[in-house]
Amino acid sequence: MLQETLHTEPIKGILPETTVAEALEFMDDLKISHLPLVTKDGLYAGLLSEDALYESEDDTQPAKSTLRQGFFPHVREGAHFFEVMEVCTQHRITLVPVVNTAGRYINSFLLSDILEFFRATPTLLQTGAILVVSIAAEQYSLVEIAHAVEHNDAKLLGLWMTHKAVETSLQLTLKLNLEHTAPIIKSLQRYGYEIEGIFGDESYDADYRERYDHLMNYLKYS
């Protein structure tokens, strides 16, 4: 799926006999921190890391000597960008090799490629307010959130879910297609959602400033 939606520059893997010094030079030229190791037959053999290469005591040794055993992160051809992001975050790497079903190396996705994919989505491109809400995990309902948003003539452009410090509670970040969120907030609160943050809502900002000014005037003359 990513292959059809992203333009990526081809990143060639290096052969196992490539020296540590050559591998580091290649990384420096491409401004990357990881590099796929590929056999002469084109098979993916693992992922080299810049840190491991620098730890080598002899930079004339083959780069494969620095390969961490079992370090074989990759995705299959046609992978969804969520899969690529999962591999990126799980292994804390900046480059994800793409391998076909025969184990042959095809290309790699850079972290910047994935960020470009997100940047081109309506979730980030379209203007609108952002709400951060929380609720107990067992009370979470996407149907209720969608109803609270769409019942107030708005659209939900994106939703991110994260666990709070208390694992039984969820924090949700909602991206909306409009900036006036007061009716949506009231609806969400009726469903039991706690509002933790409001961003990009000019009417809320103006109301907050007005109440702040009233408070300052009250304190001034009291």
Same-domain check for residues 128 and 68? no
The reply to whether the predicted model has a pTM over 0.75 is no
- 13 and 100 co-located in one domain: yes
Helix (H, G, I), strand (E, B) or coil at 124: helix
pLDDT in tens, 187-196: 999 999 999 9
Which residues of the chain, if any, have pLDDT below 50?
1-4, 208, 212
Does one domain contain both 6 and 101?
Answer: yes
Domain carrying residue 63: 2-118
Task: Assess whether 208 and 108 both reside in one domain.
Answer: no
Shared domain for 126 and 47, answered yes or no, is no
Q: Using one digit for the tens of pLDDT, what is the confidence trace for 140-154? A: 999 999 999 999 999
Sign of CA dihedral 67, 68, 72, 73: negative
